Chains A and B, each alone.
Chain A
Amino acid sequence: MKTATPGTGAAKERTGPFTTISGRPIEALYTPKDIASLDYDRDLANPGAFPYTRGIHPTGYRGKLWTMRQFAGFGTPEETNERYTQLLEAGGTGLSVAFDLPTLMGRDPDHELSLGEVGKCGVNVTSLADMETLFEGIDLAGITTSMTINSPASMIFAMYLVVAEQQGASWPSLSGTIQNDILKEFIAQKEYIYPPRPSMRLITDVFSFCAANVPRWNTISVSGYHIREAGATAAQELAFTLRDGVEYVQYGVDAGLDVDEFSPRLSFFFNSHSDFFEEIAKYRAARRIWAHVMRDRFKARDPRSWQLRFHAQTAGVSLTAQQPYNNVVRTALQAMAAVLGGAQSLHTNSLDEALALPTADAATLALRTQQIIAYETGVANIVDPLGGSYFIEKLTRDLEEETLAHFDTIDRMGGMVEAIEKGYPQREIANSAYRFQQSVEQREKLVVGVNDFVAENEGPIGILYIDESASARQLEKLDRLRKTRDNGRVRRALDALKAGARGTANTMPLLVDAVRAYATVGEMCDALRQVWGEYEETPII
């Protein structure tokens, strides 16, 4: 539909294309005709009512602001503990642990592939001793902790449980999240260890263990963030993430769990990218789709199973190494989209993250950005302020329809595990990534400071430089640990773990025992590698 701009005669437009960052064509104007098929009570409803398009809480942020959860971790557990203490003193309201690559890949610091990686992208945690240091002086009963860990999620979670117990905090009192989302690792971030099926078993083991022992813990954070960062469009992010969610629920049900027993503890994690309205519509569509999936496909009866809760993080991939101060503005606008979309918690990136891990000052500024949105802009006074906008409602509907079409394709393949084995989401994402890069090269999409408005002679900014001392200290601690712990007890615990993995025992209690014996992440992961083997992908360019 083309509508002339009032009073200007023939409508003159800039040279297009007028598309979202995902390449979706956008009209100049939306009117009631675009949302004629929507029924308020059926499709939108008030916040707190099915299908939760407008939000899961009746009072939105008037009841409780989102959790300002800044992802942090680097070097040794001692250094990261210091950063956490500082973030909590600056008014942060939850912790979010970034682990280094050896920890994420289930390798000890002395493994060949850990060379140069210890403490670089996050904190190194090798054994329970490191976890004790990481949370020293932090009351685990009084905060919520999110841990970005996937393949070794069960091992790290077991460590957290034991540290909490040492502090005197009961497991049922603990609240927080482990990412524990292996499907998006196969699809996008590629931090997998085991093949898909045993990986899914580890996850359903956590579902049932937590339902019985740690009922307030979010057992999984089904993540679109990495899918988007890998190059997916908004619709692909939404579709693959929610279809991953469907897969987890299906596996839980197939493992014999009652859908309402574990589904309320599923949470989601989305990217908050630069295309403002498309992102807001994405979150609204996500809630509506999930509510229908849970009620209609899985016949869940508990409304908490229907409600999609999500964490958002601003788009790392949008940050530029050029003119890095521009990243503050990008991040603020992206954060605003997440808030207008009703995020339960939010991480804002730091301005220097296209160059390195953030400095303490840059991390503080990122937190201040959220505080300014929360306390100065007034947006937290009202629930779903854009609800009813012709444009937003039309976009929400369009994203929903695209997502359901992807669901059909994946269902026809037999499910998400099968789709991954066929390389379907991987190929779709690689194509989108290449298309976007071409549109930047051809200057259809402008990136300020990169392909236009380029500055000559930019001065360098101070960045965090992580040297090799973390690696040396972690190696030294590991050496000492292996000499002082009861190695017979470690061996027995690992043998029990392997026996359990060969059979059908829940792996969680076995991992808790191994953790108590101070078995390392690498040793626990190796024990399961011996039983299940390792996954190798066929790369798709």
Chain B
Amino acid sequence: MPQKIRVVIAKPGLDGHDRGAKVIARALRDAGMEVIYTGLRQTPEQIVAAALQEDADAIGLSILSGAHMHICPRLMELLREKGLQDVLVVVGGIIPDVDIPKLNAMGIRGVFLPGTPMQEIVDFINRSARARVGI
């Protein structure tokens, strides 16, 4: 029996628009993953702590407010500090095109904009998180 992929879905920052985070959380769960939704207004520290505690294979961040260039570098730094650099990190939300290469360069492997099919995100996480859990 293959091990389930464990994903932490988080809403960092002050924004409360959680439709995307919740729809994705449910889609990943329906696709057979173990989903931990952190709820709103999580600091990078809290998200990394959740990933550590939950032994997450992947972290999905939902950011619509424009704060991604502050939150993401901090989160990636904290993951490295905790030795969690192999955890897959993906971001979904309102992200200007010019920021996508910068996010990729800091180790965020998937950036998903409005209109992305849920299946595409499910497939991406399945493909990219598998190597780590070894299933």
Contacts and interface: CB of A to CB of B under 8 A. Distances in A.
Interface of A: 101-102, 104-105, 107, 112-117, 120-121, 185, 189-192, 229-231, 317, 319-322, 354-357, 430, 433-434, 437, 440-441, 447, 449-451, 460, 463, 465-466, 537, 539-541
A101 B40 CA distance: 13
A434 B26 contact: yes
B115 A450 contact: yes
Contacts of A447: 115
B33 interface: no
Given A354-B94, A541-B26, A321 B13 contact: no
B18 A113 contact: no
B78 to A, nearest CB: 14
27 contacts: A104-B14, A112-B43, A115-B70, A116-B66, A116-B69, A117-B14, A117-B65, A120-B67, A189-B17, A190-B18, A191-B16, A229-B17, A230-B19, A320-B114, A320-B115, A321-B113, A321-B114, A430-B26, A434-B22, A437-B118, A441-B118, A460-B97, A466-B66, A539-B22, A539-B37, A541-B35, A541-B37
Contacts of B84: none
Given A104-B14, A437-B27, A447-B115, 17 more contacts: A113-B13, A113-B43, A115-B67, A115-B70, A116-B66, A116-B67, A116-B69, A121-B65, A229-B17, A230-B19, A320-B115, A356-B96, A440-B117, A441-B118, A460-B97, A539-B40, A541-B35
A103 to B, nearest CB: 10
Contact of B15 (A101, A112, A430, A541): A101
Interface in B1-46: 13-19, 22-23, 25-27, 29, 35, 37, 39-41, 43
B94 A190 contact: no
A465 to B, nearest CB: 6
The 10 closest A-B pairs by CB, nearest first: A190-B16, A116-B70, A116-B67, A120-B66, A101-B14, A539-B39, A450-B115, A321-B114, A321-B113, A354-B114
Contact of A355 (B18, B27, B40, B94): B94
Interface of B: 13-19, 22-23, 25-27, 29, 35, 37, 39-41, 43, 65-71, 94, 96-98, 113-115, 117-119
A116 B26 contact: no
Nearest to B24: A437
Given A116-B69, A120-B67, A102 B14 contact: yes
B95 to A, nearest CB: 9
A409 B67 CA distance: 39
A433 B117 contact: no
Contacts of A117: 13-15, 65-67
Given A465-B98, A539-B39, A541-B26, A121 B66 contact: yes
Max chain A Cβ within 10 angstroms of own Cβ: one of B27, B113, B115 = B115
Contacts of A449: 115
Given A354-B114, A465-B96, A114 B16 contact: no
A39 B111 CA distance: 55
Contacts of B13: 101, 113, 116-117
B71 A116 contact: yes
Nearest to B69: A116
Contact of B14 (A107, A231, A434): A107
Contacts of B18: 190, 230, 539
B88 to A, nearest CB: 21
Nearest to A317: B19
A450 B117 CA distance: 9
Contacts of A321: 113-115
Contacts of B16: 185, 189-192
A451 B114 CA distance: 12
A319 to B, nearest CB: 8
A478 B8 CA distance: 36
